[in-house]
Structure 1
């Protein structure tokens, strides 16, 4: 989490760097931090709850999540993320920033249109009665793979109705508006949709896998924020919706404010997929009681993010949010499980149990 930097002249005509926080009012700071907190909580709460229905639907159809993080993936993720982050840093340092951002904007344009279409489609399903939606004309796109014997295997399938087409057109127009203006409001629209979609769709294999992933990212975030200027430089140079921003001068200039505080999407998505896993654990293992572990982990995220904001404000420097989020999001649920006597059950829980050897053999025989 960081503030954008302004350059302000002093009385001796020298220039000194001041953080955006130093040039903002107390009211503006409070409003900006509160807005970032709310924008972070919405996709985590909604995405975690929606993930229950999405993944249970996959299980009922005998499918598994396309985006599934295993123990190996979790262990390697900080290394891959470090390589990608440092690569972007070199691009911004030695190549034209405008050219790099143009290429990245084109890439995120496609991703953003897909994420915004999905989110608005879910909202339409919630707001419009199913009796109306069921009467809409439906379409499907199917891509199949066929072997020499003529056996078919489904590779890709997309089903949509006339409302989805209209929502896609709206998402494209919104993407074009963001591509042209780079306005922070449109940035946040796409950022929230990215975060929600990732939290809903991505599956952690188990609680231990989530612990491995978040522990590795705990050290990753500390190193790249405190050890170098790489993380902050990339965050400020990257003109794509990979962060949520809010102007600290919003109370003075409204939507035209330009003194921003920012929060990276990784600080939302990565703890968020762990919160979503605990939500699915509650739904499957204890469907008759309240979502205890989901509530505890959600409160833990709030505590971690508030701690980040307080420390950043106190020490007046960018903070690695995962330094505070990871201990909170891992610690409170695990302590709760120990107190409840459910730590063994929680630790053994798997979102998608591995395929048994005999089932693997059967599947391999079918494909030969």
Structure 2
């Protein structure tokens, strides 16, 4: 699994840098970059212990409404306040967030070349005048934060598309790696809600497109084109992260059953097919498209067809990472108690 992940990491890095030295078709770039990002994030999400925090059905139901409120708020901010002022505030916010995300993304690769105690020894730093607030980190995290700070400073000063994409890819990978839907039922609820959300805000209002064009922050990936009238093709990070966490759940489901990449392949293939459909329709109509309109049915459809074909609908729907997390915590507690008794 690690070798496959490393190959995907190298391919993603090469594809990200490729437009600097050669002409890359933006449509192909969108498909390959998004697919590789989902692939990398999914494999990074596979860990020895299940996620401690998972999304509930109630959270999944509320998510589209919360997202709508945030989207509308941003639209109103850009409409009634200075665009430069709003983007300046957002740049400061994403500067800090970008350092954290990029550092966390680079950390696994950096840790291999550092002394063991740099990765294990915890340093605790207390905020001045707020002694109750403290931050814990390791020396390796400090080292990883150096390139993160550089790229964030580069982005804040130049707003270069490459810096934007590096930060955006870090957000995507961390989102897919850290977020857990808990179960496929919750995932279906979330994807269905955002399916409607995407259609409504793109087709029935100018809000989504307006915010995407005004929002000068790494919430979208930019792909250089040869068209001076439209210098970049764009893909929102949500079109990568939201389906990505569902595909990652399929991979962890496979791993939990000892069947490597079985349903992951069908879910991942569904994502790629949905992305291709988005690009085809976008170019056909020469208009922005809600990517989740094509990705959500494709991902769920491919996965559903596969499990129905195998007659494994029940175990797939019964899978729940939150229960696995609780059971692992209970087992670790019992092991601790046993060790104490032995002592």
TM range (shorter): 0.7 to 0.9
The 3 A distance-change label for structure 1 pair 332 and 260 is same
Higher RCO structure (Cα 8 Å, ≥6 apart):
1
The equivalent position to 1:327 in structure 2, one of 288, 297, 305, is 297
What residue number does 1:160 align with? Answer: 138
Contact persistence 1:138–1:159 (CA under 8 A) = no
The alignment's TM-score, normalised by the length of structure 1, stands at 0.77
Query: Normalising to structure 2: TM-score of the pair?
Result: 0.82
Greater share of residues in strand:
1
Gaps of 5+ in 1: 1-26, 145-154, 363-368
What is the Cα deviation at residue 43 of structure 1?
Answer: 2.0
Shift of 1:82: 0.3
Aligned-partner Cα distance in 2 for 1:277–1:334: 14
Pick the aligned partner of 1:98 from 62, 84, 109: 84
Is the 2:111–2:119 contact (alpha carbons within 8 Å) kept by the matching residues of 1? Answer: no
- Select the structure that is richer in helix: 2
Of residues 128, 133, 137, the one that matches 2:115 is 133
Give the Å deviation of 1:80.
0.3
Give the 5 Å matches for 1:14-33.
31-33=25-27
Q: Which residue of 1 aligns with 2:316?
A: 346
Q: Distance in 1 between matches of 2:260 and 2:122?
A: 38
CA shift for structure 1 position 87:
0.5
Does the alignment pair 1:310 with 2:280? yes
- Deviation by residue 1:284-329 (Cα, 9 ceiling, x = unmatched): 02x1x33111111111100000000000000111000000000011
Question: What is the CA-CA distance between 1:352 and the residue it aligns to?
Answer: 1.6
Which residue matches 1:177?
154
Q: Which runs of 4+ in 1 moved over 3 A?
A: 135-139, 141-144, 155-159
- Matched residues in 2 for 1:194 and 1:70: separation? 22
What are the superposed Cα offsets for residues 213-234 of structure 1, whole Å, 9 maximum, x if unpaired? 0000000000000001100000
CA shift at 1:125, angstroms?
3.8
Distance in 1 between residues matched to 2:181 and 2:52, nearest whole Å: 10
Instruction: Give, in whole Å, the separation in 2 of the partners of 1:44 and 1:156.
Output: 33
* Number of positions where the alignment pairs a residue of Structure 1 with one of Structure 2: 302
CA distance in 1, matches of 2:34, 2:230: 20
Cα distance change of structure 1 residues 303 and 137 upon mapping to structure 2, 3 Å threshold? closer
Aligned counterpart, 1:71: 57
Deviations, residues 115-135 of structure 1 (Å, cap 9, x unaligned): 110111122246x4xxx5325
Work out the CA distance in 1 between the residues paired with 2:269 and 2:119: 43
Q: Give distance in 2, aligned partners of 1:207 and 1:156.
A: 37
CA distance in 2, matches of 1:137, 1:343: 42
Q: Over alpha carbons, which structure has the higher Rg?
A: 1
* Cα displacement (A) at 1:141: 4.1
1:156 Cα offset (Å): 7.8
| Structure 1 counterpart of 2:252 | 280
Pair 1:135–1:82, CA change in 2 (3 A): closer
Q: 1:236, CA displacement in angstroms?
A: 0.6
Aligned equivalents of 1:49, 1:209: Cα separation in 2: 21
